[in-house]
Amino acid sequence: MSKTILFDLTAAELERFVTDMGQPRFRAKQIAEWMGRGAPDFSVMKNIPEKLRNDLDVVAQTLPVRVVRKLSSTDGQTVKFLLELNDGEKIECVLMRTSYGNSVCVSSQAGCAMGCKFCASTLLGLKRNLTINEIFSQILVAQWELRSDKLSDKPIRPNGDANNDDVSHIVVMGTGEPLQNTENVIGFIERANHDMGIGWRRITVSTCGIVPGIDRLIEWGRPINLAISLHAPNDELRKKIMPIANKYSIAEIMDAAWRFTDTHNRQLMIEYILLGDADGNLLNATPECANELVEIVRGKNCMVNLIPWNAVAERDFTSPSGNAVHRFQDILIKNGVHTRIRRERGTDIGSACGQLRISG
């Protein structure tokens, strides 16, 4: 018999669950509090009698995810979690301690259907969408990592500057295409804002450019950040590396993206991986591409994140030299485009952008 996932129960259902075990109702509140802090199991719930903790462990589990592996980068600032879902699917999330706060990169799907040629997450295709609770639990896993050793009465107040022990930023940039699971991603963000006090402006959703999904975010109306994974300055080249380009043109995607940022007066993030082909020839990183990119963003409020490609063994690309990257960036800068080269975190644990994958 599979265990009941207590995190998936409503408050009333949880109460019923504990009273059915012959326990007083206040136990439900205690358990809920522990789960809200990310408690991975009952053994840590020190205000609950040991006998009850053991009984609970036989019939129930806390979160709908279970940490099966945890990898820390050598500098200790980045931690990658491999999580198992109840149907055996595995996902990953990453905690990044940064100068501006604690950021968590969450997955929105198990696997991915997008088929981008440079990415590891899509190699095995899409398994399924994640539920709101499965996405939210990734934040709780990170929260537990930050706090478990110093559990105190201090309320969780994740506004970045107040204390260093809370998740303050979220990027929906892990495995999967968030705008193929839009309603659950929206539900998750609403919850992260409501339950953990994480501000809209500290939350970023990254998409390869699903236009109806961007329209849905506009309709939803929360002033979160939007990132577009562009990776090519024209449709012809984009189609070669991103199958989604056959469905939506760059013009359509950018039109939707600018409408989003105009609504909220936000800066658009553009993700642009710099790629060379198998022989080392520049693919989307030529000076011509840089000039085409300038035309797309000219006069707009945006930040172009240049991302050196993280090697994926199964993929036939190369990373351009530092010189080529800087030449590309210089063209953007000369034309007044805000740009930065993304500092990669967690490359040594396979958790850099697009590398999230299960390697055993």
Rule CB under 6 A: which residues touch ligand SAH?
114, 116, 118-119, 173, 177, 206-208, 229, 271, 273, 307, 309-310, 312, 353-355
**Between residues 6 and 114, which has the closer beta carbon with respect to ligand SAH?**
114
Give the three-state DSSP class for 169.
Answer: strand
Dump the DSSP string for 218-261.
Answer: HHH----EEEEE---SSHHHHHHH-GGGGTS-HHHHHHHHHHHH
Are 171 and 206 a contacting pair, CB within 8 Å? yes
**Between residues 23 and 109, which has the closer beta carbon with respect to ligand SAH?**
109
**H or E element in which residue 303 lies:** strand 302-308
Q: Minimum Å distance from CB 293 to ligand SAH?
A: 15
Are 110 and 127 a contacting pair, CB within 8 Å? yes
Q: Residue 303: is it exposed, middle or buried by C-beta count within 10 angstroms (0-12/13-18/19+)?
A: middle
Q: Minimum Å distance from CB 320 to ligand SAH?
A: 12
**Region label for 184, one of left (φ > 0), alpha (ψ between -120 and 50) or beta (otherwise):** alpha
Q: Given the residues 15, 92, 134, 271, select the one marked as catalytic.
A: 92
**Between residues 23 and 355, which has the closer beta carbon with respect to ligand SAH?**
355
Distance CA 351, CA 124 (A): 17
Q: Is 92 a catalytic residue?
A: yes
Distance CA 14, CA 6 (A): 7
**Between residues 27 and 238, which has the closer beta carbon with respect to ligand SAH?**
238
Q: Is 13 a catalytic residue?
A: no
Q: Which residue is nearest to ligand SAH (CB)?
A: 354
Q: Minimum Å distance from CB 75 to ligand SAH?
A: 20
Q: Minimum Å distance from CB 224 to ligand SAH?
A: 14
Q: Minimum Å distance from CB 208 to ligand SAH?
A: 4
**Between residues 9 and 170, which has the closer beta carbon with respect to ligand SAH?**
170
Active site residues: 92, 353
